Amino acid sequence: IMKDENCIFCKLANGDIPTATVYEDEYLRAIMDAAPANKGHIIILPKSHAANIYELEDEYVSRAFVLAKKLAVALKKLTGCDGVNILQNNGEAAGQTVFHFHVHVIPRFKDDDCTIVWKPTSYEDGEASEVAKKIAELL
């Protein structure tokens, strides 16, 4: 496990700072967010440091999203929420503020004040297919 001594999320993930821990295994720790969007908001943290999804090993990424699904099911049972956001931001332009990969699992209720929105745009004719083809070539 690679740690960054200056990273607050490394410290949280590895138990150096006390947290309300929901889940822990050798790869991940899931904790209650200290500044939740809604009550029940959980953050999944890899124990190994990677600033974002581009740097994180596939094993950690897949484990994090499998855990996110399990936590979403548990939150629905516990809170009776109407929905769940599973969010993961990469880079400042995408809203990332702590540069240690993490996944948010946020219970949502019909009339809550939590807003996650974007202004939809559109493609010109044939543009989506061209972009899809270029992305597929890079995989």
Q: Tell me the C-alpha distance between 100 and 76, whole Å.
A: 27
* 104 has catalytic annotation: no
Q: What's phi and psi for 105, nearest 5 deg?
A: -125, 110
Distance of CA 1 to the CA centre of its chain: 20
> Catalytic pick from 49, 100, 102, 104?
102
b/e map 102-132, b = 16+ CB within 10 Å: bbbbbbbeeeeeeeeeeeeeeeeeeeeeeee
82 Cβ contact list (under 8 Å, min separation 6): 108, 109, 110
Specify whether the CB–CB gap between 109 and 37 falls below 8 A: no
Point out the residues that are catalytic.
102
